Structure 1
């Protein structure tokens, strides 16, 4: 099979790219405006380079903290690090971005990525301000890359709200625009748990094909699995609130879930198993919420809290502010708000009585354990919450590769 090249727009922490690289695609460039996420992509690009050279020990030294980032990056070719562009995509920058990508001299077979999706979230739509949010027009910038590089196909990811925002008019505009650029457009809602991700995460995937390469929307075989969140957390050390390990050992050998979906993928240690601290009031609320959930799968309602534990008088807008992750099932959707507080992601173990750690959140998103997130704890949480689960991305990538190579 020929080498298929892609660029990743609005790349975030490169969760989507991770799935495509694992499927054998070759990344030419990642473009992302967030500086911490860009460092994460650079570090992951360094990982893939060192893996190809059978020099992963250097990477392990870095994520263990044994060498500095500066020393680590010095061992990586500039063309690898410079392929990650920390730039906001807008009218002022886009021409320069085209020029940098063309310096690779490579044909672009595929474009992937999804513009920031907060503009289409339920909250934003309820505020009736979507027309004022410039992010809802970022698909136009995405289209300009399609027009410039004319890839055979693209994969565009977003939240389900994209289809219904502004009574469906935004999606209709997007579809018309991409069709004018020469692409047939196929949207479908995918659920991450159908691909081995332990999370009820729904996302719109829009696949576009050049009209002469039109394969429609790929067919995926749903994974039937009985694994649970506790299977993803089982081998990680127990933590108290505010406790954590930048590097630590596993407490158990890997179980069937971790092996089958390759979350424990060769390393004999785990990084970034770090939890946030909580005050006494929150811990009391967490304990109540965990006991309610574990006893009868009942969610804590804010109005039912004792008065001494309430922090505000609004008992309607924050009714489900505290939510326990279902240890005996799959998790609700992990979103970027986890960077602000952990109330919506409470660990199911009452003995630990805390919100989930960085590594636990990463596992719920199906990031492998050797994937390292740069920046602070909050920055890591934000990157994880915004990401496309690599397991889901890999399933999409395999099917896209099969179809693209069939055409070739």
Structure 2
């Protein structure tokens, strides 16, 4: 009855039931985590939140964003897409196979730096058209870049004598969000940022209090928007706006400020002000749930010739050095760690199986709920799943850290490392970077996947000591709940940044369900 794409439905005149659709604008979109969650909610096969415009300034993230927008033009993702992400055809061949849908994706996405004059000239015209087409059913999602608000970023800025927070445009990019909110006047908005925004100040004034006031008064009238908490029992000041991802089925401890606003004139039904919170999940999803059955990989060797034989020799030396260091000056405290390091060294030395750096087999996810979201049976090959290279000097630290976590159930602090394994880092003994080398443990949610994973991987060591490596892009993406068919463009460093900066799509879907309930209180979707 229906064509495979929305384009075919329109051109061929196929019948499509006209039901309520919310035209959605995604700002500071990154690779599209929020849009992925919102667009996944469907009615009669069509997305209820129709992504009308996504804006991103970073070129590699934008390429990812546009590619994903392309897949949304179809009721069923075409075979050519799977061939492309498997490396069987080029991007140009993909576009040639479906030119109309690619053109629609081009119209949906914009490579622009929000806040610039050039961007305003383009964006404002699009916003006016979307507002007109949306019949008052529009939604705004996104969040300004967070570097200026993050606690780590502020610590670095304090070390810069010339840094002036009042002149840092990143503090005020939310004003562009407000400006667009004023112009679009959506029925609802979602704004995401790091927890550091709660304590960030400029010239003694709380940034967050200013943001709250500006959001409430957006749209040209005092209290034009009502801010509603997403959680029922938040802890601490403004805790009702802090979302702890691990409480909602995400296999990651990611804590973010997420603000939801409903235009006040859409709150005519009092009942929608109650029972609208996210539903906490009694099941805690762990690293093992999504990574435990993936094939074993080895890291590469950086700054020297890389091969499986060279890596195996380097890993054997690394485990031997780590065991020797444990016995040398912390024998009493690490007496249980050294023998396990020795055993792992022997296992690697005697192993007949050669570990690859990439294994593109599509593997299972242990948790059924996560599996339904992440796994795509049509995948030809698992994308973005290749290890990075590590310096030989770091392998012994990875070996120690992962083995320590295997025995103790937690990652070691800097103070627990043998002195021989201490890196040449001025802050190693200061206590400021106690988790400089941090292992993700199998039976717990991961720590927050951040863009720092693009730097060196030290904060994201794989829990299996025998692999002696950091997480791949795909492993990080699974912890972020990006579906396995979500392809990240760019080089590996750029891919890591995209994954680390994103909102977990499965969390975004749950937020979208809450927003839909607020906008359509009588629906059962």
Q: TM-score when scaled to structure 2?
A: 0.73
Q: Which runs of 5+ in 1 are unaligned?
A: none
- In structure 1, the residue matched to 2:29 is 11
Q: Radius of gyration: which is bigger?
A: 2
Whether contact under 8 Å (2:286, 2:442) holds in the other structure is yes
Q: What is the aligned counterpart of 1:48 among 72, 85, 92?
A: 72
Q: Deviations over 1:156-213 (max 9, x none)?
A: 0111111221277111111221222221224511111122110010011111111112
Residues 309-340 of structure 1: CA deviation (Å, up to 9, x unaligned) = 52234321333200000111111101001011
* Structure of greater relative contact order (alpha carbons < 8 Å, 6+ residues apart): 1
Instruction: Please state how far the C-alpha of 1:261 moved relative to its aligned partner.
Output: 4.6
Tell me the residue number matched to 2:40.
Answer: 22
Distance 1:29 1:258 in 2: 30
Deviation at 1:360, TM superposition (A): 0.4
259-268 vs 35-44, which deviates more?
259-268
TM-aligned CA distance change 1:288 to 1:168, over 3 Å: farther
The count of corresponding residues between Structure 1 and Structure 2 is: 404
Preserved contact between residue 292 and residue 442 of structure 2 (Cα < 8 Å):
no
* Equivalent residues in 2 for 1:9-408, closer than 5 Å: 9-23=27-41, 24-50=48-74, 52=75, 54-74=76-96, 75-77=98-100, 78-92=103-117, 93-103=119-129, 106-107=133-134, 109-126=138-155, 127-128=157-158, 130-166=165-201, 169-181=206-218, 182-186=224-228, 188-214=241-267, 215-216=272-273, 218-242=276-300, 244-245=357-358, 248-250=360-362, 253-257=364-368, 260-268=371-379, 269-303=381-415, 304-307=417-420, 309-314=422-427, 315-316=429-430, 317-406=432-521
Query: Matches of 1:407 and 1:255 in 2, distance apart?
Result: 35
> Residue 48 and residue 79 in structure 1: after superposition, are their counterparts in 2 closer, same or farther (change >3 A)?
closer
Q: Does the 8 Å contact 1:162/1:170 carry over to 2?
A: yes
Q: CA RMSD in A?
A: 2.2
> What is the CA–CA distance in structure 2 between the aligned matches of 1:114 and 1:244, rounded to whole Å?
35
The answer to whether the Cα contact below 8 Å between 1:192 and 1:202 also exists between their aligned partners in 2 is: yes
The answer on whether the counterparts of 2:460 and 2:471 sit within 8 Å (CA) in structure 1 is: yes
- Specify every segment of 5 or more residues in structure 2 that has no aligned partner in the other structure, as ranges: 1-18, 42-47, 219-223, 230-240, 301-355
Equivalent-residue separation in structure 2 for 1:336 and 1:203 (angstroms): 15
Q: Provide Cα deviations, 1:69-96, integer angstroms capped at 9, x if missing partner.
A: 1221232421222321010001412132
Q: For residues 145 and 355 of structure 1, do their structure 2 counterparts lie closer, same or farther at Cα, with a shift above 3 Å needed?
A: same
Provide TM-score, normalisation by structure 1: 0.93
Q: Per the alignment, do residues 298 and 194 of structure 1 end up closer, same or farther by CA in structure 2, a change over 3 Å counting?
A: closer
Structure 1 residues 407 and 180, CA, compared in 2 at 3 Å: closer, same or farther? farther
Could you tell me how far apart the structure 1 residues matched to 2:228 and 2:196 are?
Answer: 16
Deviations 1:90-139 (A, max 9, x none): 14121321113445552261000001111111123334454342111111
